Amino acid sequence: MFVKDNSITASVGLPTITATIAIVFTVHQLY
């Protein structure tokens, strides 16, 4: 169960971090 939760966290967390970086970068470029 712990490993499964870790896998879910990784599969959800990494794209979220990537999207956040992309949004921050875009906003920084615009402003």
Q: How many domains, the chain? A: 1
pLDDT in tens, 8-25: 676 777 888 899 999 999
The Cα–Cα gap between 3 and 10 comes to 10
d(CA 20, CA 15) in angstroms, rounded, equals 8
- The token pair at 11 is 């599969």
Structure tokens at 18: 């990537």
The residue range of the domain holding 8 is: 1-31
Q: 30 pLDDT band (50/70/90 cuts)?
A: confident
**pLDDT reported for residue 4:** 66
Chain centroid to Cα 15, Å, comes to 4
